[in-house]
Structure 1
Amino acid sequence: MSSVGGAGGPMTSISQIMALRQEVLARSEALQQVRAVNGPQPAQGTQPANSFASALNGALQDVSAVQAKSGAMQAAYERGEVTDIAKVMLARQEAGVAFEATLQVRNKLLSAYQDIMRMGS
């Protein structure tokens, strides 16, 4: 059975794209499940201020690591070392989501700080 357009025609490329899409969706779902299982662990034996500071610092380090991994994968793809574009795009998307979440936390903290400063007036 030959596809339209010969051996590597449009039907073959569409099926490859759909398979790639399914793989990306499966990996994304697996990543969400891992994150749900390995959610934030409360710090034990520390004072509340230290646990908040360490949690914030840990979250920032995680975001930095995700962005570094994404950059390394993109550079490896540009050098031809990585050929799976889906992995590269997934890493870029994960880095973008992590950065956006960090930005939202920063905005909420800044807003809370400003509210506290207004209370004294």
Structure 2
Amino acid sequence: MTIDAKGLLAIRSQILERNDVLSRAGTPQAATKPDFGNVMESAMQAVNTQQSRASQASAAYERGETTDIAAVMLQRQKASIGFEATMQVRNRLLTAYKDIMNMPV
């Protein structure tokens, strides 16, 4: 089996086309990967928003603007669960950081 120049050039152009298609296909995925800091910041903002809603609901109940105690308690419980989850993530991150710092080099 012999490979002539035309066949070799055709194979080369196919490889280059496939490489170009693959590189274009990989670029958007790399751009859409979330940054850890951004994910943590958005999670903290969500917890803060929930805490604010719970505070507003409690204040509205205390002022007599609403009589739905179940909705107020539900908002407070959501805020509490979000805060506890945030604390658990923080504790796990600190533990991981300490473990990494204690690793021998």
TM-score range, shorter chain: 0.5 to 0.7
Structure 1 residues 117 and 65: alpha-carbon distance in aligned structure 2, compared to 1, 3 A threshold: same
More helix by share: 2
Q: Tell me the distance in 2 between the aligned counterparts of 1:101 and 1:65.
A: 15
Aligned match of 2:79: 95
Match of 1:45 among 25, 31, 56: 31
* Runs of 4+ residues deviating >4 angstroms: none
Aligned match of 1:62: 46
Q: Amino acid of the residue matched to residue 66 of structure 1?
A: Q
- What TM-score, normalized by structure 1, do the two folds share? 0.59
- What TM-score, normalized by structure 2, do the two folds share? 0.68
Q: Amino acid of the residue matched to residue 31 of structure 2?
A: G
Higher-Rg member (1/2): 2
Percent of residue pairs identical: 52
Match of 2:92 among 108, 113, 117: 108
Structure 1 residues 83 and 44: alpha-carbon distance in aligned structure 2, compared to 1, 3 A threshold: farther
Aligned match of 1:72: 56
**Residues 44-81 of structure 1: CA distance to partner in whole angstroms, max 9, x if unpaired?**
71566xx1100000000000000000000000000000
CA RMSD of aligned residues (A): 1.9
Q: Amino acid of the residue matched to residue 67 of structure 2?
A: T
Query: Which runs of no fewer than 5 residues in structure 2 stay unpaired?
Result: 1-28
Instruction: Kindly tell me the number of residue pairs found equivalent between the two proteins.
Output: 77
The offset of 1:120, in angstroms, is 3.7
